[in-house]
Every structure is written in C-alpha cells, then in structure tokens.
Structure 1
Amino acid sequence: MMDDQIWNLLAKKVANELLPEEEKELARLLQQHPDASYTKEILTQGWKDKQKPLSSGDTEIALEKHKRRLESAVEVEEIPVYSSRRGNIRRMTVRIAGVAAALLMAFFMGRKWWSQPKMDENRQQLVTHKGSRSQVKLPDGTTVWLNAGSKLDYPKQFTGKRREVTLEGEAFFTVTKDAQRPFMVRTKSFSIRVLGTEFNVRAYPLEDSAVTSLVTGSVEVVLDEKKNQVVRLKPNEKLSIPTIQLMQEDSVEHNTAPVVIRLIKSPLTVVRDSVVTETAWVENKLAFKRMPLEKVAVMLEQWFGVEIRFKNNNKRQEYLTGVFQDESLEEVLKALELTGGSFHFKTDKEGIIWIE
C-alpha cells in the first residue's frame, strides 16, 4: 500500500496549497511509488484548465464530472485482469479506497479554492483584524488609515477615468487631488465620490447604519448611480444611513454571509457636527459621544480584539460619552463603570467579557 503521506501531499497539491519543500518530498515519494504517478495525473487534470472562476452551480457540476472521471480511470487501471485471489481483490479495494480518500481530501480542501474567484493580479487587498489598525499609501498618493476589522481592496495602478477602491469596515481617507480622475469609495451601502478631500467612512456589515463624515473639501454620497441619487456634504457634516442585514446561504459552502440592504423610507438628514469622535481613531483615540452601550461594546471588541456579551439586555441602551488614549482594556472598563451608570463588567474563564 502506498504511504498515506502521498495522499496527503496529493490532496494539498490539488488544493494548490503545497509548499516548495513538500513539492520536493512528493516528487521523491512518487519515484519510490511509480503506481501513484498515474493517480496524481488524474487528480490534477481537473484543475489544470480551471483558470476562470466558477459559479456555485458550475462548481458542483465540475466536481461531479471530475469525480466520475476519476472513478472511471481507477476502474480501468485496476481491473484489466480478473482474479478471484484474495490478495488481488484486496489490493484493488485498497487502491480504490485510497484514491477515494485522496478525492475526498482534495474535494474539501480544494472546493473553496475552486469555487472562489482568484485574487486579481492587478489588485491588492489590505485587511486589519480586531485589535489592529493600519495605514497604506495608494498608487496616486492618497493615504488611507484602516480601522480594526476592516478590508480595503484597491488596484496596483489606477487606470481609466476614475480611481476606485472598495471598503468593508471603517477607513479615513486623505485623497490626492486629481480633477481629471475623481476618487470613488464603494461600500455595500453607498459610494462616495470626491476630487480631493479628507473624510471618514464607517460601513461595517454587522452594524445598523453606515456613516460618512467629511472633514475638509466636499464629497458626494452616491446612493443610486443610475438614478443620480446623490447627497452632497460640506465640511463637518455627516450622513448616517440606516441599514438592515440579511443572512444568505452559499449553495456550495453551505455557510451564511451577510447581505446589507439600505433602509431609506424618508428623506435622509445631514447632521452638522465637529466629527471629532468619528475621526479620533486615526490619532489612536477611542472616542464616542452619547452612544448606547450596545454600540460602545462593539467598538471595544474591534479596538481591543475581545468578545463582549450582555447578561442584562436592559443595559444595552444606556448612553455613554468618553475619550480614551493609551488606556488598557481594564482601565477603560473601570472608567465606564465609574462614570457610565448601573452596569458592571465581568470576565469569565474563557476570556469573554459580560455586561450585567
């Protein structure tokens, strides 16, 4: 029987996850087990011509065809001569079982890689996890500060009539002026069109609103590009758009992903504010003004990379105001307890913080 390590390495190769040193090890093992080389070709053949992304339906069809082709090839290879000897029957069963195991590993390891579009070679992506923030300079000189739990997708070079980036989460932009090429920030809730300015965008999928805050210059918040539905902001103004989130199941992965829908039932209101709290995070300050504890908890989760839950839901709507810089999580929680009201924070053995 072939070494189990071969099947593991073959599965990783099919899933495009094989490291250089593992590639060498696989080559060495295939030399020792020549009968595994044909199986390797069968396994990898189905992936050689898959350079374009597949839809979920196409993925299932392709996987089924690949499975049938593999099973057919195995049968042709292993059953050219019939023998009733127990040894031959056992060898045939073991080999088919081994190929099936490799197919299953390749299926589960490779289906995600197969069903999702590959990252465009001409684009880059910056991702910040909870508890971290980052800064990047775009090809046109625009500077972007990315807050915790956010993702920014942008091209390696801006081409065409406008400069477009895609944002999920929160970011502060200092846009380089270019009158010939407007700068466009796209989110799931709206888009922002500018020429050169400083502004903040907060559009997290799990939050009940998406907010644009303008510091200097001018921006257009594009709600519907086809209908030319636009809201113009002036310095120190912000626009908050209510959103609702629905969960949609992926037919291939069978997991759920958020789909954000704007709720615009009445004319939107532009609020004139100092926008200090909205942009304080860029200066490494945690700030909120008359914010319900429920939203403060979300900010703390993102800022410190922790998990916070409520034991008493009545505490969710207690309003808080605060500005913190360089304080630890424990110091922030203690200050909120002393100045916030009738709630307390407790941390359990698993590190989860409970509000009660």
Structure 2
Amino acid sequence: MDKEKFYNLLAREIANELTSAEAEKLQQLLQEYPDAFYIREVFTRQWKEAAQKELPHNMLEKHQKRLQAASFTVEDEAVPARQVFRLWPRITAVAASIVLIVFAGWKIQHRVPAKPLPLAQKVTLKGTRSQMLLPDGSRVWLNSGSRLEYPKTFAAGQPRIVQLEGEAFFQVATDANRPFRVQTKSFTILVLGTSFNVRAYPGESSAVTSLVEGSVEVQLDKAGKQKVALHPNEKLTVPANLFDIEDEPVSKTDTRKLPATVYKQQLTHVRDSIVSETAWVKNKLAFKHLQLEKVTALLEQWYGAEIGFHNQQKRSLYFTGVFETDRLDDVLAALASTSSFTYIKDASGKIWIE
C-alpha cells in the first residue's frame, strides 16, 4: 500500500480539498485495503473532536509551514499546493489530520483488523429458482444450484461485497459511497449501480459475466492490475477458477500476466428481445446454436434431472430453442422431433440420449 499517497488523500478529504480524480483514487485504496477503513474512521472521529478545540499557537504555526510547503499528487496528475487557511475550521481540519498520521501509521503496521460482518446465505437446489432483496435494496435472482453469501448489514462507507457460486442476475441499488462487488472463483465484478448476470458454476470450464445496462469492470487478478470494462449488451467469458476468493491476495507489485485467454462478445439474442444469457430470469430456457452436451447440462440444472449419453456422437449436435414449460419431457420431445436423436429413461429415472 502506498501509505504516503493514502495519508495525503485522507488529509485532503478532511479538508474538503479532494478533486474528483483524487476521490476515486481514495475509494480504490479503501476498497483494496480493509485496514484503511479503520484509519479513515479514526481520522474523521478525531477531526470532529479537534475541530471544536483551539490548537496552541505554536503548533498551528508549525503545521501551517508544513502545509504551505507541501503539494499533493494523484497518479501522474500533479495538484499544485494552494493556500488552505481561509477559514479557522479548515485550519483545524487539516492540522488535525496531519497530527493523526503517526497514529494511523502505527495502526497499519499493527494491522488492526476490522470486525467481520455477520454473513447470511441463500441457496437454491437444482430445479428451483428464487428472488430476493439484499439489505441495501439491490434485487437478486438466483438460478438453480446456486449459493449467495452476503452481509446481513452493509456497513456505511464500505464496499458492498457478496460471494457467488452458481448463477445470479443482479439489479444493484446505486450508492456511490458504497461500490458493489461480486466475488467468484474466476473474477471479481466492480460496479456502482447496474443490471448484469453472472454464471460461475463449479464443474464448468468457464465463467461468464453478461451486462444488460450500466457499466462494470471485471477484475481478473487479486492485485487489481488486470481489469476488463464491459458495456451494455456485452459479455466476458474467462476460464473457470481463475483465482480462488479464499486465496491470499498477490503482491501489489506483482506484474505477471494471466496465462489465460478471455473473450469479450455480444450477448446472444435468440429471437426478438429474448437473450439467452438472461432469459432464465423471466422463467424462459433459451439457447442458440448450442451443443447438445451443453443443452443437457442446462436441462439438468433447470429440471434437477440426470441425463447421459449412450451415443457419444450426439454430444456435438447443435440446437436453438426457447421454452416455457415445467415439463422436461416437452423439451426433450421438441428437440428429438428433429429426428437427430432419441432418448429413453432407465428404471432409476435417468435419461439417456441415443
């Protein structure tokens, strides 16, 4: 962590001197380093107390000289030093922030952990889907065989972080002070307020983020150095388990590139306004030019069934379809009506493609 930059930005925030670029950088540092939230809270609390008291004249004069000689930088854009002693409350705010830098540095060195928030969990079994509201008002549709973990309460001034295994569609409540994060074992999605779909099932070879409206960034590494921006009607496909959310973050100075290929594509429009990536939210099963092997995987999740292949060559057949039915037999009959395959059920109820 660049401590000097963090201290400078925090001091400027308390003095109400932050530019929009500086505010964005400060939020990024706060999101990447949980300890920074504790330091920020201490700064703010101490400032409120100090703002009501008159500092000794010699101490104030010393800080004035420091500030007059200082300049602040964010990224590669220099911000010239400026006179900040226009009003007494501002003098007190900036002086108090600098006095507390030593204390904040001690807290970082000793890594005082923030108290973990209690988590809740929502799970859907195969063949079932559910809809829920998160504590911040964001709405989530959870597809079959999925699990979502989230705090019972989202803390003020901190990112809203949820962890997903499976598939979910999010309509995120906008809150610029609390960015929304979806963590999976393949990527982390960074968003303020938007609608998007995430598919990251264990056992599948890839994970997919599909953006409907708004904008998101997909972070592909723990250090946050490799990100891909998505715009509406785009999706990103990455290898499964690109990184595990339980792993320790890599070093901030790690510059290794991912040994993996990612794909950005347009969403798949099956017909009219039906998009295969999000049709399930409206209780529609939709796919376009998809191999039968992958179609049967969708059917297994959708209906909680078990499907196998007696004829392995049938796996590579391609199908397109949109279905709104509660009966698996109706879907299989429609697909089989193309005369490209037949199917049977064994005594246990498992379906076999022949």
Q: Assess same fold via TM > 0.5.
A: yes
Give the aligned residue type for 2:232. P
Asked whether the equivalents of residues 163 and 184 of structure 1 are also in contact (C-alpha less than 8 Å), the reply is yes
- 1:246-275: CA deviation from partner (whole Å, max 9, x where unpaired): xxxxxxxxxxxxxxxxx8434x33112256
Shift of the 315–307 alpha-carbon distance from structure 1 to 2, 3 Å rule, reads same
Point out the structure with the larger helix share.
Answer: 1
Counterpart CA distance in 2 for 1:296 and 1:347 is: 18
Q: How does 1:74-113 map to 2 (within 5 A)?
A: none
- Separation in structure 2 between the aligned mates of residue 183 and residue 121 of structure 1, nearest angstrom: 16
CA displacement 1:317-347 (0-9 Å, x = unmatched): 11111100125111100001013x5211111
SS in structure 1 at match of 2:329: helix
Alignment of 1:186-225 (within 5 A): 186-225=183-222
CA distance in 2, matches of 1:161, 1:346: 54
Give me the whole-angstrom Cα distance separating, in 1, the residues matched to 2:215 and 2:154.
21
| Counterpart residue number, 2:267 | 273
Helix, strand or coil at the partner of 2:277: helix
Cα deviation 1:187-235 (Å, max 9, x = unaligned): 0111101000000000001111100000000011110130421000000
> Which whole-Å CA distance do the structure 1 matches of 2:188 and 2:127 have between them?
26
From the superposition, tell whether residues 327 and 134 of structure 1 become closer, same or farther in structure 2 (CA, over 3 Å): closer
- SS of aligned partner of 1:178: coil
Q: What is the rounded CA distance, in whole Å, between the counterparts of 1:244 and 1:194 in structure 2? A: 21
Residue 242 of structure 1 and its aligned partner are, at CA, apart by 2.5
1:274–1:298 distance in 2 versus 1, CA, 3 Å: closer
TM-score (norm. length: structure 2): 0.59
User: For 2:233 and 2:302, how far apart are their aligned partners in 1?
Assistant: 24
Amino acid at match of 1:152: L
* Structure 2 residue aligned with 1:151: 147
Query: Where in structure 2 are there 5+ consecutive unaligned residues?
Result: 1-115, 243-257, 270-274
Partner of 1:136: helix, strand, or coil? strand
Going from structure 1 to structure 2, the CA distance change for 1:299 and 1:264 (only over 3 Å counts) comes to farther
Shift of 1:240: 0.8
| Alignment match of 2:231 (pick from 222, 234, 251) | 234
Q: Is the contact made by 2:149 and 2:163 (CA closer than 8 Å) also made in structure 1? A: yes
SS of 1:157's equivalent in the other structure is: coil
| CA separation of 1:352 and 1:123: change in aligned 2, threshold 3 A | same
> Structure 1 residues 343 and 201, CA, compared in 2 at 3 Å: closer, same or farther?
same
Q: What amino acid is the match of 2:139?
A: T
5 Å-filtered alignment, 1:1-356, equals 122-159=118-155, 160-243=157-240, 264-266=259-261, 268-274=262-268, 276-339=275-338, 342-356=340-354
User: Is the 8 Å Cα contact of residues 117 and 151 (structure 2) preserved in structure 1?
Assistant: no
- Equivalenced residues, count: 219
Partner of 1:7: none
Task: Give the Cα–Cα distance (whole angstroms) in 1 for the partners of residues 176 and 146 of structure 2.
Answer: 28
Structure-2 residue corresponding to 1:93? none
User: C-alpha offsets along residues 295-327 of structure 1, whole Å, 9 cap, x if unaligned?
Assistant: 111110111111111111111111111100125
Contact 2:288 2:320 in 1 (8 A): yes
- 3-state DSSP class of the match of 1:351? coil
> For residue 125 of structure 1, what is the amino acid of its counterpart?
Q
Aligned-partner residue type, residue 265 of structure 1: A
Counterpart residue identity of residue 266, structure 2: R
CA contact (8 A) 2:140 2:168 kept: yes
Which stretches of structure 1, 4 residues or longer, exceed 4 Å deviation after superposition?
A: none
* TM-score, normalised relative to structure 1: 0.59
Counterpart-to-counterpart distance in 2, 1:135 and 1:307:
25
Counterpart of 1:233, as a letter, is: L
Contact 2:268 2:288 in 1 (8 A): no
Partner-residue secondary structure (3-state), 1:153 = strand
Q: Which amino acid aligns with 2:216?
A: V
Structure 2 counterpart of 1:64: none
Q: Which runs of 5+ in 1 are unaligned?
A: 1-119, 246-262
CA separation of 1:121/1:158 partners in 2, compared to 1, >3 Å: closer, same or farther?
A: closer
> Cα offset for 1:122?
1.5
Is the partner of 1:224 in helix, strand or coil?
coil
**Shift in Å at residue 243 of structure 1?**
2.8
- Aligned letter for 1:270? K
Letter in 2 for 1:311: H
